[in-house]
Structure 1
Amino acid sequence: MVKEKKKKMPPKRIILMRHGESAGNIDAGAYATTPDHKIPLTEEGRAQAREAGKKMRALISTKSGGENWRVYFYVSPYERTRTTLREVGKGFSKKRVIGVREECRIREQDFGNFQVEERMRVVKETRERFGRFFYRFPEGESAADVYDRVSSFLESMWRDVDMNRHQVDPTSELNLVIVSHGLTSRVFLTKWFKWTVEEFERLNNFGNCEFRVMELGASGEYTFAIHHTEEEMLSWGMSKDMIDDQMDRVDGCRATSNDHCSLHLHEYFDLLDVTDDEE
């Protein structure tokens, strides 16, 4: 007897969120006495997270096709992201949350251990000259290192979806929420949309408790353009080509995605308009 293959249940939305205001955001000297992973939220950061939870729930419930929607959370193991999720969770009833998974691969970029403020200022100035993506912090990571572990996380996340490890009911609308950090979220998006290193360098950081919503369009592709305006995407540092790609994903065919389009070909090939005979 042939076992019936389970139907894949792709999430309707993937929401990326940065943690609330932390003690390190208001005083860089905090890192000299407290390890990065133990930096707490401020009271303002907790309030930001509670408000973001209410807004997130309102968005999902308003935009969902029906009442049967659910949320699954992935969270960085850092204190500030865990606390952010606790406060965000106050905006959701228990029946709406399928589960939570702490995921080490979406942690903050490692900057080293205890950080001396003056030394870090010099190091970050050097990073600006070198380039944010490839510069590796002494005793820490580069954004390229973060890219590698985020890529591994994405593979695992899609295996979870393919094998229905979220245990979502076929009649439910699944929303995945990833509570992480600014740079890690930008790296996630660079990997997801196959942006170049140059395009990554354009991107601005998320604000505290800012969340960005990728929704599955009619094309079968995820896009920001359903929930976010062109002006918003411009403010994030996205170029016109990047924004046009988001627009195409709303109701275009799959061939308009970066998997198949010639968005970057002219950067590498000078003879694209030349035929074999002319060559």
Structure 2
Amino acid sequence: MKVERLRWLGVVRHGQSTGNVIAERAENGGRESIDIPERDADVPLSDHGREQAAAVGRWLAERPPDLAIVSPYLRTRQTAETALAGTGVPMEVDERLRDRELGVLDLLTGHGVRERLPAEAARRARLGKFYYRPPGGESWADVLLRLRALLREVREDHPGARVVLFGHEAIVLLVRYLAEGLSEAELMAVAHDTTVANCSISSWRRLGDRLEPELFNHVEHLHQAGAAPTRQENVNAEPS
């Protein structure tokens, strides 16, 4: 997948959400399920997540993008709206940046999957995250199909532009996979060693005929703003 027609590509994970906080408590407490009242698409930012989003805004103000493309999920839209407030940067919502669909794993902790769905836990371990598709859900490879289409349109419709995406943990990892031409093994090594921080920034800039890595999981802007990084994985047993 080539995205060299863009001058700069950035991707921001949404700020800490109320779902992140509840999920962390459930995981740390050894619970099987995660008690989130909203559907996943309606989970909002926490107060700390809003502070993190404001810090992203200060970072972007020094290097404004030409366009922002945003997941339709509430926590992601709130992150983008806060970060881009008053900038005049156009914002497009695109469902292809939505979080990964987890199907039967929805609202289960890792412990809960192993206890309630041992056959699925075994199938996931055998197939690996890249190709494992939970019943009613998506594999990482499925998410890549929509990301490839989105990035193709972006590079064709906005040649030479600076574009920032606002998405979710798996989106950050899979954009890196596409932008850098990683193999499955290389992607899995990155995913194993990295929990993408809320409101972290990853970016690539054009050098010659291709995009080159610039930042990955960057959080210095959060430290500078006093909005401490949080690295909770999204709800539901796996990074997403």
TM-score relative to the length of structure 1: 0.63
Aligned to 1:143: 140
Aligned to 1:63: none
**CA shift in 2, pair 1:110/1:31, >3 Å:** farther
Given the alignment, which residue of 66, 70, 80 partners 1:71?
66
Q: Is the 8 A contact 1:34 1:114 kept in 2?
A: no
Q: Is the 8 A contact 1:13 1:215 kept in 2?
A: yes
Aligned to 1:239: none
Structure 2 unmatched ranges of 5 or more: 24-32, 219-240
Aligned to 2:50: 46
Supply the RMSD in Å over aligned alpha carbons: 2.6
User: Residue 110 of structure 1 aligns to which amino acid in structure 2?
Assistant: E
- What CA deviation, in whole Å up to 9, does each residue of 1:120-175 have, x standing for no partner? 5436955355411111122111111101111111221122125xxxxxxxxxx732
Structure 1 unmatched ranges of 5 or more: 1-8, 61-68, 163-172, 233-279
Work out the CA distance in 2 between the residues paired with 1:42 and 1:84: 11
User: Residue 42 of structure 1 aligns to which amino acid in structure 2?
Assistant: S
- What CA deviation, in whole Å up to 9, does each residue of 1:51-103 have, x standing for no partner? 11101222x1xxxxxxxx6521000000010000011013x533xx2x21111
Q: Is the 8 A contact 1:35 1:113 kept in 2?
A: no
What secondary structure sits across from 2:158 in the alignment? Answer: helix
Given the alignment, which residue of 189, 195, 198 partners 1:205?
195
Work out the CA distance in 1 between the residues paired with 2:82 and 2:74: 12
Work out the CA distance in 2 between the residues paired with 1:210 and 1:128: 28
- What CA deviation, in whole Å up to 9, does each residue of 1:233-259 have, x standing for no partner? xxxxxxxxxxxxxxxxxxxxxxxxxxx
Aligned to 1:86: 81
Aligned to 2:222: none
Q: Is the 8 A contact 2:179 2:211 kept in 1?
A: no
Q: Deviation at 1:206?
A: 1.9
The number of residue pairs the alignment matches comes to 196
Please say if 1:221 is aligned against 2:210. yes
What secondary structure sits across from 1:184 in the alignment? Answer: helix
Work out the CA distance in 1 between the residues paired with 2:112 and 2:141: 19
Please say if 1:104 is aligned against 2:95. yes
Q: Is the 8 A contact 1:31 1:115 kept in 2?
A: no
User: Residue 166 of structure 2 aligns to which amino acid in structure 1?
Assistant: V
Work out the CA distance in 2 between the residues paired with 1:51 and 1:192: 25
User: Residue 212 of structure 2 aligns to which amino acid in structure 1?
Assistant: T
Work out the CA distance in 2 between the residues paired with 1:70 and 1:184: 19
Work out the CA distance in 1 between the residues paired with 2:138 and 2:67: 29
Aligned to 2:175: 188
What secondary structure sits across from 2:173 in the alignment? Answer: helix
User: Residue 173 of structure 2 aligns to which amino acid in structure 1?
Assistant: R
Work out the CA distance in 1 between the residues paired with 2:126 and 2:39: 27
Q: Is the 8 A contact 1:31 1:114 kept in 2?
A: no
Taking only the aligned residue pairs, the percentage that are identical comes to 24
User: Residue 82 of structure 1 aligns to which amino acid in structure 2?
Assistant: R
**CA shift in 2, pair 1:77/1:113, >3 Å:** farther
What secondary structure sits across from 2:205 in the alignment? Answer: strand
- Which of structures 1 and 2 has the larger relative contact order (alpha carbons within 8 angstroms, sep 6+)? 2
**CA shift in 2, pair 1:189/1:158, >3 Å:** same
What secondary structure sits across from 2:141 in the alignment? Answer: helix
**CA shift in 2, pair 1:183/1:114, >3 Å:** closer
- Report runs of 4+ in structure 1 exceeding 6 Å deviation: none
- What CA deviation, in whole Å up to 9, does each residue of 1:14-58 have, x standing for no partner? 111100001121112656532111111100001100011101222
What secondary structure sits across from 2:204 in the alignment? Answer: strand
